Amino acid sequence: MNAKELISSLSDYRCEQSLDNIKIDQIEMDHRLLKSNSLFICIKGYTVDGHQFAEAAVENGASLIVAEKELDVSVPVVIVPDSSRALAQLSTHFYGHSSNQLKVIGVTGTNGKTSVTHMINEIHQYVKQKTALIGTIEMVIDKESYPVKNTTPDSLYLQKSFHKMVEKDIDVVSMEISSHALDLGRTNGVDVDIAVFTNLSQDHLDYHETMESYLYAKSLLFSQLGSSLKNEKPKYAIINQDDEHAAFLKRVTAQPIFTYGIHEKASFQAIDVELRANGVSFTMRTPKGDVSINSKLMGMFSVYNLLAAAAASFASGIDLETIQTVLNNTSGVKGRFQPVEHSQGFGVIIDYAHTPDSLENVLSTIKRFCEGDIHVIIGCGGDRDRRKRPLMANVACEYADHAILTSDNPRSESPQAIIDDMVEGIKYNNYQVVLDREEAIKHAIKQAGDKDVILIAGKGHETYQIVGDEVLDFDDEQIARKYLV
Ligand SMILES: CC(=O)N[C@H]1[C@@H](OP(=O)(O)OP(=O)(O)OC[C@H]2O[C@@H](n3ccc(=O)[nH]c3=O)[C@H](O)[C@@H]2O)O[C@H](CO)[C@@H](O)[C@@H]1O[C@H](C)C(=O)N[C@@H](C)C(=O)N[C@H](CCC(=O)O)C(=O)O
Ligand SMILES: Nc1ncnc2c1ncn2[C@@H]1O[C@H](COP(=O)(O)OP(=O)(O)OP(=O)(O)O)[C@@H](O)[C@H]1O
Ligand SMILES: N[C@H](CCC[C@H](N)C(=O)O)C(=O)O
Ligand SMILES: [Mg+2]
């Protein structure tokens, strides 16, 4: 693409040098990935300042630099007030506003994003639409999987991926939209068509500092709905009516709304909810009549996820019969309330609960059917919200009979220091500390009696343990199997 044309997509910039005869074949934010004829954009990160790589970028083939300040380099420099914002504008233009040609269903909320996006994806696949999925576990484009570093990728990777999806004739993409992504503008330029809110509870206060600013970040998905750089398709907001923030979120969007819930009247409401030992059943009230749902998924939180997926798919034009069939057959996502099959007399469940609210939801679900003792193995991530640690530990002790506090991705922090933060919140004495996660799992399995349930929480689908800078192989399921007979 001609550099002049590309740069004219910026809303605010300054450039003293001529951009004539510069051709851009690639945009890059990492100087190590540059090839010739590329534009390098300097991003001030949390770890390093990308401006320091400008010279090296030119050596690696950059023929144009976008930066927030003047730089002494041999190629033209375009100055912008905010390079992350500029990255989204440039990437969206460079990749041809591809999200406009796709139906984009974006799901935000503290818990349930991965679960809900997977269900929406399954529903659309059932009616033979070509689908893509973006989220915590992976990116999938028409059944081909691509690795991801973030739940919601940066705007460059995101726009490039939308372009690939258009090339592959994808109809609908279901994506998780994290609060970090909204706050950092990773989704600026994405033409979201259906925005879904699951819930808001404590997490990520290391980043957002207060619950108000966390809510504000999530609300951007709804206030920006229909205000992307170009948009032509109908929009819908899907909101959990039972969440205390429902009224606020309904106010911030100008688009049509479908609500869902159990306790409050909603467009999609679950009535006569039955929580069984092998699933949930309820009648789903919808704008087009009642539908009965019998799902293998467990717990009240799954009722909310099923309703959210139903409402989003209905807004997307899928018929209720299809929605019912898929929801009655879905078996959920890897690492989300996933039983480990074995022949001993107790149950083992792997789950990704890593917030006080999700842990409480999962443990209270187990409590409803467990006839023996509940054992929970729980840790808290290093370099993440410290304020959730004492709350998670106390929930573990309150709902389980035996809590084993252990490590979950300590990253740069000392595992013992993380446990110390957890222990501070505990008002009970039914816990022990086993720092090594494998030892903790082994200990719980040795200790469990007939009819007990062991919940291995926090890592879900993860197959690693991050210790310092090292990413070590670690898979809760494999480790559990090693000690189960
Ligand atoms: C706090 C945060 O969001 N950090 C993100 C950020 O990293 P950073 O700011 O540390 O980047 P940096 O290393 O300082 O680099 C700055 C710039 O210099 C460039 N660079 C860097 C080194 C070099 O040698 N050359 C070079 O050009 C980099 O490409 C970048 O453009 O930019 C990276 C690239 O986009 C992200 O992968 C990274 O996410 C990290 C891994 C992360 O852990 N983020 C978490 C907090 C996060 O975003 N989580 C949410 C929600 C999770 C959930 O609840 O599901 C998510 O969406 O994932
Ligand atoms: N609607 C819900 N409400 C509360 N807890 C939930 C809900 N759905 C799932 N959970 C719990 O939260 C855990 C994570 O679920 P899921 O992966 O779907 O959430 P997420 O929002 O994608 O999380 P992340 O922010 O890490 O991407 C599950 O393992 C379960 O324990
Ligand atoms: N994706 C989320 C959840 C991580 C869960 C847990 N395993 C941890 O490492 O804290 C995060 O980065 O906060
Ligand atoms: Mg997720």
Question: Number of folded domains in the chain?
Answer: 3
Residues 287 and 356 in one domain: no
Domain boundary among 53, 82, 111: 82
CB 323 within 8 A of CB 308: no
* pLDDT score recorded for residue 229: 62
* pLDDT score recorded for residue 294: 97
In the chain, % of residues over pLDDT 70:
99
Residues 149 and 208 in one domain: yes
Counting every residue, how long is the chain? 485
CB 337 within 8 A of CB 301: no
Domain contains 91: no
Burial, 364: exposed, middle or buried (Cβ in 10 Å; 0-12, 13-18, 19+)? Answer: middle
Q: How far apart are CA 423 and CA 444, in angstroms?
A: 19
> Which amino acid is residue 274, in one-letter code?
E
Q: Which of 187, 186, 214 is nearest to 104 (CA)?
A: 187
Residue with tokens 């004539």: 20
Domain boundary among 51, 82, 113: 82
Domain contains 210: yes
Tokens of 233: 């398709």
Q: Which of 293, 400, 100 is nearest to 392 (CA)?
A: 400
For 250-309, how does the pLDDT look when each residue is reduced to its tens digit (9 = 90+)? 999 999 999 999 999 999 999 999 998 889 999 999 999 999 999 999 999 999 999 999
**Mean pLDDT for the stretch of residues 318-325:** 98
Residues 385 and 282 in one domain: no
* pLDDT score recorded for residue 230: 67
Residues 74 and 160 in one domain: no
For 138-187, how does the pLDDT look when each residue is reduced to its tens digit (9 = 90+)? 999 999 999 999 999 999 999 999 999 999 999 999 999 999 999 999 99
* Confidence class for position 232, pLDDT limits 50, 70, 90: confident
Q: How far apart are CA 455 and CA 448, in angstroms?
A: 11
For 386-431, how does the pLDDT look when each residue is reduced to its tens digit (9 = 90+)? 999 999 999 999 999 999 999 999 999 999 999 999 999 999 999 9
Of all helices (H) and strands (E), which one includes residue 423?
Answer: helix 415-423
CA distances to 7, 165, 229, 270 from 24, rounded to whole Å, are 10, 22, 21, 53
For 86-121, how does the pLDDT look when each residue is reduced to its tens digit (9 = 90+)? 999 999 999 999 999 999 999 999 999 999 999 999
Indicate whether residue 458 lines ligand 3 (CB < 6 A): yes
**Mean pLDDT for the stretch of residues 315-334:** 97
Residues 122 and 158 in one domain: yes
Closest CA to ligand 1's atom 3: 180
**H-state helical runs in 284-387:** 300-315, 320-329, 356-369
Indicate whether residue 388 lines ligand 3 (CB < 6 A): no
Closest CA to ligand 2's atom 27: 136
* pLDDT score recorded for residue 231: 67
Q: Which of 49, 365, 105 is nearest to 221 (CA)?
A: 105
State the CATH number of the domain containing residue 411. Answer: 3.90.190.20
Could you please report the per-residue DSSP string of 311-331? Answer: HHHHHTT--HHHHHHHHHH--
Q: Which of 297, 385, 369, 362 is nearest to 377 (CA)?
A: 362
Residue with tokens 């306790």: 263
State the CATH number of the domain containing residue 250. Answer: 3.40.1190.10
Q: How far apart are CA 119 and CA 333, in angstroms?
A: 9
CB 253 within 8 A of CB 223: yes
Q: Which ligand is nearest to the CA of 150?
A: 1
* Summary count for the chain: helices (H), strands (E): 16, 23
Q: Which domain holds residue 385?
A: 338-483
Give the nearest ligand 1 atom to 157 CA.
35
Q: Say if residue 55's pLDDT is above 80.
A: yes
Mean pLDDT of all residues belonging to the chain: 96
Q: How far is the CA of 43 from the centre of ligand 1 (A)?
A: 10
Bridge partner residues of 39 (DSSP): 27, 64
The pTM assigned to this predicted structure is 0.95
For 342-360, how does the pLDDT look when each residue is reduced to its tens digit (9 = 90+)? 999 999 999 999 999 999 9
CB 468 within 8 A of CB 412: yes
CB 137 within 8 A of CB 151: no
Residues 244 and 168 in one domain: yes
Q: Say if residue 203's pLDDT is above 90.
A: no
Q: How far is the CA of 114 from the centre of ligand 4 (A)?
A: 4
Burial, 416: exposed, middle or buried (Cβ in 10 Å; 0-12, 13-18, 19+)? Answer: exposed
Out of 27, 31, 46, mutate this one to test ligand 1's pocket (max ligand atoms within 8 Å of CB): namely 46
For 425-470, how does the pLDDT look when each residue is reduced to its tens digit (9 = 90+)? 999 999 999 999 999 999 999 999 999 999 999 999 999 999 999 9
Bridge partner residues of 270 (DSSP): 284
